[in-house]
Chains A and B, each alone.
Chain A
Amino acid sequence: MASSSKAARLGEEVWKSRVDKINAEVLTLTYGTIVAQLCRDLTLPATANKTDYAAVNAELDRMGYNIGLRLIEDFLAKSNTGTCSSFRETAEVISKVGFKMFLNVVPQVTNWQGVEGKPQAFGLVFEENPLAEFVEYPDDGRAQDELWYSNILCGVIRGALEMVQMQIEAHFVTDVLRGNDTTEMRVTLVRYIEDEMPPDDE
């Protein structure tokens, strides 16, 4: 596909020449610390140390959302991609330019659902995930089933796409940390946000 190889080239070029880089392990450890701290702080009501994993997931998503709102400007300024003509192109750009540029990974776009004009969704399969290196889940019997460790990424995509007039819904469906074979996030297009009109003067 022509547009996909173009996106791949662009991602490679931006990654090589235009972004500041840090040691990946610094990021891995910092993120791990955040998740661990959230797991300690957010506990179920009336318990001292039973983590409320749903709250941790939600908090990670919220943090990511706020990152995404800003990250998109940096992304657009560095990559110079214009507006995407279709949701399919958006998916390609997210995976091959966005993830490449900020995390140096290229998740596979898979499992397309829907066509233009209908509800559309795609999956992002992460073959490697820099956030999830060296991770061990707490041995409380619940984390394995309830915690989405990399949930911050869902929020980032949601925040970033909202700024470019796309309301989406993103969540992880599988994670190798939970014992699945792959790590997959599903991104569903809810609607395109209309331009806002200036308020009436009168």
Chain B
Amino acid sequence: MSVFSFYIFDRHTECIYSKRFAASNNAPPPRGAAGGGIQNGDVPASLRKASKDLDETKLIFGTIFSLRRMARQLGGADDQFLSYRTGEYKLHYFETPTQLKLVMLTSPNVGNMRTVLHQIWATLFVEYVVKSPLAPAEHTGGKGVANELFEGGLERFMEAVFRPQQ
């Protein structure tokens, strides 16, 4: 169980927050000892190749945008897709009625993270970003999102969720 990265997209389709997580302490032992590839922690090869973060967020947005549309076309206007899984990773998705989109990439064996994403939004984003008098109402260019409280809260929260289970 480990988390690779986390993204927030706003209603203007812009990525207003992204965070990559270093390999957590419960990550499996690095394959191939001190090989060059492991400084990125447990990030799968498919993600490591993405040359720029920008391209990656665009790619992720494109994916969820299309998947979301497909889910609606097949399952009705209220349908939402929740996650998809590949051999290397699992993408979890949560959208608020205000079209804020929360995306999390984890290892494929992780269970349903919908409640976790909901909690991140309700207890961290709303409390520390939306209610922050210093943050603008629209976070163009991610302005005001990555403040200390949100950042710290997110780290602690993720740590608690992905703590090694003995």
Scan A75-99; emit 1 where CB is below 8 A from any B CB, else 0: 0111001110100000000000000
Cβ contact within 8 Å between A196 and B12: yes
Q: Is B58 an interface residue (CB 8 A)?
A: yes
Per the bound structure, the CA–CA distance linking A85 and B13 in Å amounts to 23
The residues of B that contact A83 with a CB separation of less than 8 Å are 78, 97
| Chain B interface category by residue count | 20 to 34
Chain B residues in 8 Å Cβ range of A8:
none
Chain A interface (Cβ < 8 Å from any Cβ of B): 66, 69-70, 72-74, 76-78, 81-83, 85, 163-165, 195-199, 201
Smallest CB-CB A-B distances: 9 pairs: A77-B122, A198-B13, A73-B130, A69-B137, A163-B98, A77-B126, A73-B126, A83-B97, A70-B130
Residues of A with C-beta under 8 A to B98: 72-73, 76, 163-164
Q: How many A-B residue pairs have CB under 8 A?
A: 48
28 contacts between A and B (CB under 8 A): A69-B138, A70-B130, A70-B131, A70-B137, A72-B98, A73-B96, A73-B98, A73-B100, A73-B125, A73-B126, A74-B126, A74-B130, A77-B123, A78-B122, A81-B97, A82-B78, A83-B78, A83-B97, A85-B78, A163-B11, A163-B99, A164-B97, A164-B98, A165-B99, A196-B12, A196-B13, A198-B13, A199-B13
Within 8 A of A (CB), among B58-105: 58, 61-62, 65, 78, 96-100
Interface residues of chain B: helix, strand, loop or mixed (majority): loop
Q: How far apart are the CA atoms of A40 and B61 in the complex, in Å? A: 49
CA distance A77 to B100 in the complex (A): 12
Q: What is the bound-complex CA distance between A164 and B100, given in angstroms?
A: 10
- CB of A193, distance to nearest CB on chain B (Å): 9
Complex CA–CA separation, A77 to B13 (angstroms): 21
Besides A73-B98, A77-B122, 14 more A-B contacts (Cβ < 8 Å) are A70-B131, A73-B126, A73-B130, A76-B97, A82-B78, A82-B97, A83-B78, A83-B97, A164-B98, A195-B99, A196-B11, A198-B61, A198-B62, A201-B58
